[in-house]
Structure 1
Amino acid sequence: MTAVTTPVKLGEVLSARRTPEQLRARRLLMWRQLLTSLWAPLTLVGLFFIPYLFLIENIPSSASWAKPAMQYFGAAMFFSWAGLLTWRLVSKREGALRKFRHEARELFLEAERVFARLPGKLPPNAAERIAEQAVRVEDASLAADVPQLEKEVRALDKLHEELFAAHRKQSTWDTVSGFAKALVIALLIRTIFIEPYRIPSGSMLPTLEIGDQVFVNKFIYGVRIPFMNVVPFQFVRPPARGDVIVFNNPIETDKDFIKRVVGLPGERIEVINEVIHVNGVPQQRTLVSDDFIVRNLSFKNEWEDDSTVLYQERLDEVVHAALQSPHHPHGHITEGPFIVPEDHVFVMGDNRDNSSDSRVGFVGQGHPPAYVPYGHIKGKAMVVWLSLGYGGLLSSLFDGTGLRLDRFFEPVR
């Protein structure tokens, strides 16, 4: 009968060798390493960003104070990151300490994997010898003694080679499998929860500007099966009027578009004298400015000013901006009627005279209308997380395109 060998838990062996003072010092060093990591400011922004999204999505009025608060916090974290990076580059001692501490951590994790995978196949005193040397490494690390730390890390690496050289190459599979797991998690997050999307054109001006990068909530309408354009079931709710959605163009399926939902399944949509009518009911529309300037990209990929007419429009409970060309023909002009099929939505761009949308089959004037099937909808645009558009930081170096700090964390309404 074969005896079952219990895997050695190297962490427990090592903990038994530490004094209470060493444990406290180790915890303090761990927190110091975490808080001075270049990932720390980015992680904090991510942690604050999640409740910010929840807040502005569920309480839209909170954006008036939550957006500037998030912008100030983001700026503080950026300067913190820049300060940490400068410190790293200037302080050779700090760089060396982090390098050898990282090597020691990798060696310890490697030893844990080997002991867990090969119980009973290593020398009986292997765990004790590794733990003894690991304590020496920790002592040098806590003392911040760079030469001694380097010496002890090299000794630990040599001990690894002596005790389980034949098994070290197998740990490459652990690295590959770890990378594969991280990739699968990233793909799941992108498929189910959130996806970035870059605004390529001015069809959604002034709500979304060219160069805005938005996060898309992929969970709200239900999980969409990629390439099959099928949503098996909904999670939170179906698309609602006023939502700004990213969808796979049903006419040219290799393209993604972003537009605003205007019509829902079974509804009759008409645009009469620039005013949207839903089942014969005109939607509220108020003139804000008859000379509103927006920046657009010309066919030569150059920024140019466009003079437009700005309106404030209400679609159900969603109040948003909409543009018309000052040359738009006035009088008894009617677009439609458009009857929205079941499980489809009718969409329009906020820049009404510069948008290939449902009215023109996502192609252009003279084409029959087209509607967006539920299965083609990727999700609801939530917030601008980055903007590389007209003006802003360093725009003089890049033909007018710069980092638009004022657009960061802008809710999509």
Structure 2
Amino acid sequence: MSTARRRPVDAAEAPPDWDAAQDALADAAVRLALERSGEAGVRLRAAGIAHPETRGMAGLREVAVLAKDDLPDLQAAQPPFGGMLGVDLGVLRRIHRSPGPINDPEGQRSDYWRMAPAFRAAGFERGDVVLNTFSYHLTPGGHMMDAGLRAVGCVVVAGGVGNTSAQAAFASQVGAAGYVGTPQFLLTLLDRGRDEGIRSTFRRALVSGAPLPHDLRRLLEEGHGVSVFQAYGTADAGAIGYECEAKDGWHVAPGIVVEVLDPGTREPCEPGGPGEVVVTSANPVYPLVRFGTGDLSAFRPDACDCGRTSPRLAGFLGRTGEGVKVRGMFVHPRQLAEALVGAPGVRRYQGAVTEQDHRDILTVSIEPRGDRLPDLDELAARLREVTRLRVEVRTVEPGTIPEDATPIIDLRERSPG
């Protein structure tokens, strides 16, 4: 339990009838999708929805789910956004590219991804200096968090990825009270700073993009004195959930419809039952209807006493899709194929994600072709170029990797934060 004092809860986070608010959002999203999204319009009409009506969430039940893993093919067939963009391309603020590859639009609206409530719930305040360590290059993570921080009135240090010693020193020099990034990189920063005699000024952190096990949260909070909160969102849908001061589940963010569906039947899961997080968003720039994130979670069956009327998600429970998140970045099988299929000396390959000292490690095993040994340094460079991650590459004996092996396996132990 956090000792942070309770902040006032915004009315959007505590409507008197949450279900009615979700119904209204679902109807608004359907209306926008029929007007603006060719892709969603096809799925809606196939479900018998050709005109905007008051149906609420129940009206979504027959609409097919669009899987996030289908976006690269959709966008390749109809560039750049697969017929999903709801505005003219020229009115966008930015265009980003996430691993996949997936193109992500950013509209002109302030706090486009609706991250501000997550920062307020975590106790970030106007005037706080905050180090943002998510990438500002191509991927949208840095800008997602930057916009939310500025909406709260924080001063942003645009740190980005890497340069650990420099970031630790700079954050201390400017008295950064807050941190934004993965929990693993926060630990790296704090440990590096301690080793180099740099005094940390971090008091609180909003972390995302990677799991936060109990022992890592305890190490950050008790070992380093940083109060850590989690946020959950995607570049497609924006904020989906975040922790309040109770730090006991992720409250569904205002402005989005969230379902938890059985991956097989696509029926709603009972509270406590794990399923895929599926979102619907009334975003005029990028309207989404039943968008499958590929993330597994569950609705908590109990209520929170913080004053928010939103249900809570139980945290990250795994993935249904092909992508695996490594150090805050999705790695997809098609990326490994792009780097390795046809590469000299490579017969088969398989990626594996493990964890050591709370740090993700991506290792790609290579089964050589015949007597020709592959150049491991060249393969590592190829993989780094497509994944934007440091990858360890090793060779294994012929016959080690089955012909039908899963391209990427996740061997990390997971526990909710």
Using structure 1 for the length normalisation, give the TM-score. Answer: 0.26
Which protein is richer in helix relative to its size?
Answer: 1
Q: Greater Rg, structure 1 or structure 2? A: 1
